[in-house]
Every structure is written in C-alpha cells, then in structure tokens.
Structure 1
Amino acid sequence: MTGRVLHTSDWHLGRQIGHRRRDAEFKAVLDEIVEIAAEFRPDLIVHSGDLFDGPRPSLDDMRRAAYALRRLGDIAPVVVVAGNHDTPYVLGFVDYLLTDMGTRTGGQVRVRFATDARSDGLLIAEYPAADGELTLRVGALPYLHPNRFAYDFTDPAAATATYAERIRTVQAEVYGRLADGRGPRDVLVFAAHLFVEGATPSYSERKVSISSDYAAGAADLPAVDYGALGHIHKPQLVGRAGFPACYAGSPLQLDFGESHDTKSVVLVKIEPGKPPRIEFEPLTSGRRLVQLTGTLEEIAQQAGRVGDAWVKVLVDVEAPTTSLAETLGGMLPDATIVGIEERWPGAENRVLDRTASTADLPGVEDLLREYLPRRGTAGPALDHVMATFADLQAEPDPAAPAQFAEENLLAAAIAGEDLDGIGRAGLLTSAATHRSEVAR
C-alpha cells in the first residue's frame, strides 16, 4: 500500500528579468513538470502557492496556468493553495476556466483551489489511491497575512497574539478537521503557504514576508504523513525531527539570489506508519542566472563556461570605459546581459553629501512652482494650483478636511446663494479663511 504525491510550488508565472519576459522558459519547465508527473503517476498533485507573480497576471499567464493545471489534472487530482502573490479573484477565474465555465461539478472537478483559511471555508478533501487500498486526505492552508486575522477571524484573543500563535491556532483547526475519523489506511497531507522558522530563503521572496515576525513555529506544524510547503524558493527539507515536510521551491531561478539553487519538484511515496520516501527531482529547463565579477581579463576567463544564461556583470576598471557593453557582448555571445556595473578606484566616494553643499536645497513648493510653467500651467491657473497644494499641506486632520474653493462654490449653489455675487476671489478668500481657522 503506497500513496504517491507530486509536490510543486511557486511557479510565479509572469516573473521577468528586468523588463524581459520569460515565456519560453515557463512553457518549457511546465512541460517538464507534466512529463515528470506522467512518469511518476501520482495519486495527488499539490501546488503549494504563488501560481502567479502578481495580483493582476496577464491573460497569457492565466492561459498558461490553466493549460498546465488541466494537463496535470488529467494525470491526477490537483490541489492549488493560494500564496501571498495570488488573489482569490484570479484563482477563482482560473477555476472557472478549468471547470469549463462552471459546467463541471462534483467528481468531475480535477483541480481545486484553497483560498479561504476560515473554519467554514477550509479545503479538506479525500482522494483514493490508484491501488484502491489507501485514501489520501489533504488539508490546505492558504497564505494568511496578519491583517487578515482582523477581517476573517473574530476571536478577540487573536488581536494581541503573535503571528506564530495565531497561525498555530489555524493549523490546529486544519489538523483537527483532517484527522477527524482517520482510519489505518488514511494518509494525511498538509499543504500550506507559509514561512517556517529555520527555513533557508533565497531572498528573492518578499523580504517582509520572511521576517521573524511572519515565521510559523516548526514545533507547531501538524503531525501528518507529509507537509507540502510553499513560499520559500529554495528546495529543502524542513528542519524538524519527526515532521516529513519540504519546500518544493520555484521551478526557475527567479532572481540572482537563487543563482546557485538547483530547482526541482518533490516526489513522495507514503506508506501508513512509515516515514515517507522523499526525492527531489531536478528541473533542467530554465536558463541559469549568473553573476560575473572581476576585471575584463578575469571575466573573459569565466565567459567560456557561461553559455545560454541571464547574466549580471560587475567589472573592475581603472576608469569609466566606453563600449563596455559591446566588449562583454562579444565575450558572452549566447547569454543575455541584463545588467552591467563598473567599479573603479574612488567611485565609492562620489556620493552627494548635503554638508558639501553651499546653498540650501529648494523646497517642494519652489520645485513645483518652477516645474509647472514648463508644463503649461501659469498665471492664475498656477496660483490656483499652488493654493490647492497649500491646502493639502495644511491638512491637520484627515477626519476634518479643509475645504477648497470648488467645495465652497458647490455649497453656495446647494444653498441657493447668488453665485455671481460671490466671485472667484471671494471663494479663494473663503478657503484661505478656513485654512487659518483649521490651523488655529
């Protein structure tokens, strides 16, 4: 009796290198994942979050995601956990596409999305193994930003708890639901998008989401047969004894901080009552990210080993050099150079220092008054803009905003006053008077 799980994560479809798209690489690596799945024949496929790189993916990226997930769904049931880069609305639209615009329901649905961490919205699902002797039970926990606790959970005690304490409560809820009525032939899988303390980030993740304030305690992870984790881009086992869990990592090197990472998917074979057999299956489709540092002579010696890659170069020179891009391009004909930085003696001292300036720096008002006439705003119009800007700067309390001239005009019209008698000058005077009263 063996259950098989294929674990992938953090596709980040739409991620670019600078302004360069990576569509061909994403297509190739998703094809590779589908081929691995077809050969491994899993009973369950888990994607542990960050399907997309941003909250508003392009139509091409949504099409690419739907196509890959449909192909995986033809091999085995798929569960996708929402990551911190995903939004429920976008995942809901992809779900709509995969269910043939809502016409597939129930047992026909091969791809399911976990977007809700509340008790009544948790995704807890069961899938029979191919041999018919085991059942894989999966509980999915989407990424939970600390602010969501205030909106989604009403327990007053959570307001003063740490993030780790609040996550512990939610994880316990998932595990309680998952283990309820567990039989000897049930295999439990916990799928989540979160940062576990002790994990090694690649630093291509959003820095704020991998700070210690956002870390879940390793000791608090539920006692399941396998934990499919997402969020960290470096593939790795989780450092907790007795808890068989992995970060699958991203399928491509997403940033130069990942230039030494070998990308993979995780293949898991599980027998009840035994530690799972975990294998990281390498992915080879993506282009490498390479950083080269040194003099031009030293870089030339390294260039022959670079080949087809994305490259950033830091060049040590005696003085600023012309035609550097052409020189490096000749050294690296198969690479795409995405950044060149020169470093020469004394360059680090060429930093603007306020103490070295003999004149005061201009204020925002001076800069604005100088800039606007060049853009066609002058005369009375310029005076009006500057008066409005002064109103905004003088705003002492957002709850009691200052009135602009236009607001006074509208109020006078509603009150039925003679607008001709008020005049523009009177409106501006009224606004100025109001600003003085607010300032006091």
Structure 2
Amino acid sequence: MTGRVLHTSDWHLGRQIGRHRRDAEFDAVLAEIVEIAADFGPDLIVHSGDLFDGRPGFDDVHRAAHALRRLGDTAPVVVVAGNHDTPNVLRFLDYVLTDMGNRAGDEVRVRFATEARPDGLLIAEYPAARGDLTLRIGALPYLHPNRFAYDFAEPGAATATYAERVRAVQADVYRRLAADRGPADLLLFAAHLFVEGATPSYSERPVSIDADYAVAADDLPGVDYGALGHIHKPQSVDRAGFPARYAGSPLQLDFGETRDTKSVVLAEIAPGRAPLIELAPLKSGRRLVHLTGRLEEIAQGAERVGDAWVKAVVDVDAPAAFLAEALAKLLPQATIVGIEERIPGAAGQVLDRTAATAELPGVEDLLREYLPGRGTTGRALGHVMATFSDLQAEPDPAEPAPCCEETLLTAAIAGESLDGVDRAGLLIGADATGTEERR
C-alpha cells in the first residue's frame, strides 16, 4: 500500500532574461509536467510556491490556470503561496478554477494556501487509490520577515527572532496535521522557505536566503514527506527522520542555474518506511550558457552551443569593433544576452547595446553596497533589505492593473455585473492546446 505524490515548484511564470520573454519555454515545460503526471498517476500533486515571478500579466494568469486545470484532471492539486506570489492573484485563480465559485467539496480539484493565519491554515485530506490510505497535507505559505502577520497566543512571540516564530508556526501546522492521526494516515508538509544548509542557485532574491531567515532543519516537523519550495536547485534536505526535497524550478531561470538539471519529484509513500523517490527530468527549455575565452577559442566550441541563451566574456588585446556581430555569426541559433570584452589590465567592460540595461547593477545591489558605509550592517542591514525587497514587490496603487483579475474578483464577490467575464471565460475554457487568441 502506497500513496503517490508529484511535487513541483517555483515555476516563476513571467520570468524574463533581460528583455526577452520565455513564453514558449514555459508552455513546453508545463505540458511536459502535465504529461509526467498523467503517466505517474499520483494521488496528490503539490506545488510548493512561486507560481509567478511577480505581479503577473493576463497571459501568465491564463497559462497558470490552464496548466493547473490540466493537472487537476489527473489528481487533486495543492498550491502554496511563495514569496513572489500575490494572494489576490491566487484567490482569483481559485475563483476561476472552481468555476466562479460553483464547485465545492470533492469537486474542488485545485486548492490554494494563500496566507498563514491561525484560522486559515490549509489542512486537507485525500484518499490514496492504492490501499486504504489517506494523505493528509499541511501547507505553510511563505512568511515574510517584515510582514509576519501570524497571531500568537504568547506575547513574547512579538520579539522573537524570525526563525523562532517560524518554528512556532510549523509546530502549529503539525499539531493540526497530526491530530487524531490513524495508522493509515500519511502526513505531508508543504512549505515555501529556506532551510539552513540548502544550496541556493543564487537566482533567488539575495535577502530571502539570508542566514537570518534560514529555518533550522531540526525544527521541521516529523512527517512522511516534506515538499519544499523557494530554492531553485533540486536537492534533498539532510535531516534524519524528515524525508524532504526541494523540487527546484522547471527551467534554468538565471545564469546561476547553468549547472542545474531540472526535474519534478515522484514520491511513493508508505507507513513506517522512507519514501521511494524518483526524479523525472524535464527536457524542455533552452539552456543557459556562459562562454569565456578568446574569439577563436569560443569558435571551436560553437557547434555545441546550439539553441541557448548565452553570456560571453571575450578576451581581446584591444577594444574590438563588431564583437557582437562576430559572436552572432558564430552562434546563429543562440540568443546572446550579454557580452563582456575583457582586456588585460583593464577593469571596464563593453556591452552589446541590446543587453546593456540587463547588465547594469540593480538598485538593490547598489543599496546593499551603500548602507554599510552609513553604519547599517549585520541583522539591521538584513531587515532593511527585506523591507526594500517587499516594497519593490508590492503593486503600486497609482498604477493601473495590467489585467482584470482583481477587478473581476472584487466585482464577482460583491455580486456586481461582470462586464469582463469574457476574459474569465478564456481562462475557464482553455483547450488542450492553449491556442486561443492572446492579447
């Protein structure tokens, strides 16, 4: 008797490389995940956070709804909110995937854990198809360090460290999950967090993997499987008695992930023994490739690059004219997103005009470099950067929404006329090929 779980994470729909969108790659890898799920036949599918890369456009919301509905046709799906996800957008998806709120109970195939509140923790049960087993899952969304809204009974929790407060929330999830546990109940813990000792890909937000915000592996609850998200590099969590994995991102999202092999986790769980884990590799998506050396050295390996995203560091004796054109000719199938011209004894770099903006240091990097010189260091620096990062992620109320999801959801809940229902219909009626007209 076993229960089967498919674990995926960190899709980051909408993520770009510089100014380049990756819609075709996302479509291909999501179709691949749907196919793997259909072949594996899981009892439960878990997405452990960062469905989107930030505030999504309509196409990204459509893409997520289409993929989640297709996965829900295979097995129930639980989605945990990550640090890049906006609760209102996830609530809109929930509204769409329950057919405008008309589905209830066992008819709900996709459920979302959007916020961590004592009265809103997602604890759910799903029967296994093989044997008289029940999968019980407790889902913990990402807990923002500077917007930690969980209400604690103990007054002292307000002054506790981030790790101490997360430990208390995890314990609360486990108490509810393990209550009245029977011998045929399999416990799963799904969370979006950084566990100390995990190896990041460094495409995550730097502040979100700061040591001050790491959760101790020994503090994780004792369950039959832990489905973790947040770290993009697929890996297991090294703690005896807690079989858990980071599923990682499905595509190489940044040049910090060039060595990562992407996959989804297929876990078979049974009472009283360690789960059987298989990693199903994901083959869709273009590779991200670093090229370094003299132009003639790069030319020798150019045939192996093929269809890829490329950053190149070219060693030259003096400033070289038409370097971008020469590389483009050597790598006709590749998209070159950055070029650095390296001259002996020179510290400067020359960028291709189309990639120049992508290569400049970001405001976050400049602020992190500036503040220590003004006396803000250590934990105080971490808190300032966390606040700044969250402020950047917050929608600007003065900006018009890029799509209709929040307006539509608010109108629907209020019982007002849904003038924009045709767009929601596109989401609900997505066919298997996703060939509707995109705007």
TM-score, with normalisation over the residues of structure 1?
A: 0.78
How has the CA–CA distance of structure 1 residues 179 and 275 changed in structure 2, closer, same or farther, with 3 Å as cutoff? Answer: same
Q: Deviation at 1:155? A: 3.9
Aligned mates of 2:329, 2:166 — CA distance in 1: 53
User: Which letter maps to 1:51?
Assistant: L
Distance 1:133 1:175 in 2: 22
- Name the counterpart of 2:49: 49
Native 8 Å contact 1:118 1:153 kept in 2? no
- SS in structure 2 of the partner of residue 196 of structure 1: coil
Provide the secondary structure at the position in 2 that maps to 1:57: coil
2:208 paired with 1:185: no
**Match of 2:193?**
194
Q: Is the 8 A contact 2:118 2:151 kept in 1?
A: no
For the 8 Å contact 2:117–2:150, the answer to whether it is kept is: no
> Could you tell me how far 1:302 is from its partner in structure 2?
1.8
In structure 1, what is the Cα distance between the partners aligned to 2:172 and 2:207?
26
Partner of 1:219 in structure 2?
218
In 2, the alpha carbon distance for the partners of 1:79 and 1:122 equals 13
Once the two structures are superposed, what CA deviation does each residue of 1:40-96 show, in whole Å capped at 9, x if it has no partner?
000000000000000x20100000000000000000000000000001101001111
CA drift of 1:195 comes to: 0.2
Aligned match of 1:35 = 35
1:278 matched to which residue of 2?
277
Q: How does 1:199-348 map to 2 (within 5 A)?
A: 199-348=198-347
Q: Are the counterparts in 2 of residues 150 and 159 from structure 1 also a CA contact under 8 Å?
A: no
Q: CA–CA distance in 1 between the matches of 2:335 and 2:141?
A: 36
Counterpart position of 1:59: 58
Give the Cα–Cα distance (whole angstroms) in 1 for the partners of residues 39 and 164 of structure 2: 41
Contact persistence 1:136–1:186 (CA under 8 A): yes
Q: Tell me: CA distance 1:151–1:141, structure 2 relative to 1, closer, same or farther (3 Å).
A: closer
Q: Show the counterpart of 2:416.
A: none
Deviation at 1:153, TM superposition (A): 4.5
Taking the aligned partners of 2:39 and 2:250, their CA distance within structure 1 comes to 18
Matches of 1:251 and 1:21, distance apart in 2:
16
Structure 1 residue identity aligned to 2:174: Y
1:164 Cα shift?
A: 1.1
Gaps of 5+ in 1: 351-440
- Contact 1:204-1:258 within 8 A present in 2 as well: yes
Deviations 1:12-48 (A, max 9, x none): 0000010100000000000000000000000000000
Distance between the aligned counterparts of 2:173 and 2:205, measured in 1?
26
Q: Determine if contact 2:255/2:289 at 8 Å carries over to the other structure.
A: yes
Native 8 Å contact 2:117 2:149 kept in 1: no
Q: Tell me which residue corresponds to 1:94.
A: 93
Q: Contact conserved, 2:118 with 2:150, CA < 8 A, in 1? A: no
| Cα contact 1:149–1:158 (8 A) shared by 2 | no
Distance 1:151 1:223, change over 3 A: closer
Task: Return closer, same or farther for 1:151/1:177 CA change in 2, 3 Å cut-off.
Answer: closer
1:10–1:49 contact (8 Å) kept in structure 2: yes
Q: CA deviation at 1:150?
A: 5.1
Q: How does 1:411-426 map to 2 (within 5 A)?
A: none
In structure 2, what residue type is equivalent to 1:4? R
- Counterparts in 2 of 1:23 and 1:171: CA distance versus 1, 3 Å: same
**2:258 partner amino acid:** S
Pairwise CA distance, 1:116:
2.1
Q: 1:126-183 CA distances to partner (integer Å, 9 max, x unpaired)?
A: 0001135100000000000122325754642122211111111000000000000111
The amino acid of 1:310's aligned partner reads: W
Structure with more helix by fraction: 1
Q: Residue 409 of structure 2 corresponds to which residue in structure 1?
A: none
Higher relative contact order (CA 8 A, sep 6+): 2
Separation in 1, partners of 2:70, 2:250? 17
Question: In structure 2, what residue type is equivalent to 1:263?
Answer: K
SS for the counterpart of 1:289 is strand
In 2, Cα distance between equivalents of 1:160 and 1:29: 43
Greater Rg by CA: 1
Task: Give the corresponding residue for 1:436.
Answer: none
Counterpart-to-counterpart distance in 2, 1:316 and 1:13:
35
**Distance of 1:186 and 1:53 partners within structure 2:** 35
Partner residue of 2:432?
A: none
CA contact (8 A) 1:197 1:218 kept: yes
Question: The residue matched to 1:131 in structure 2 has which SS?
Answer: coil
Does structure 2 retain, via aligned residues, the 8 Å contact 1:5–1:267?
yes
Change (3 A) 1:151 1:186: closer
2: CA distance between counterparts of 1:26 and 1:312? 21
Q: How many residue pairs end up in the alignment?
A: 349
TM-score computed with the length of structure 2 as normaliser: 0.78
Structure 1 residues 155 and 147: alpha-carbon distance in aligned structure 2, compared to 1, 3 A threshold: farther
CA RMSD of aligned residues (A): 1.2
Amino acid at match of 1:34: V
Percent of paired sites with the same residue: 78
Aligned equivalents of 1:343, 1:224: Cα separation in 2: 52
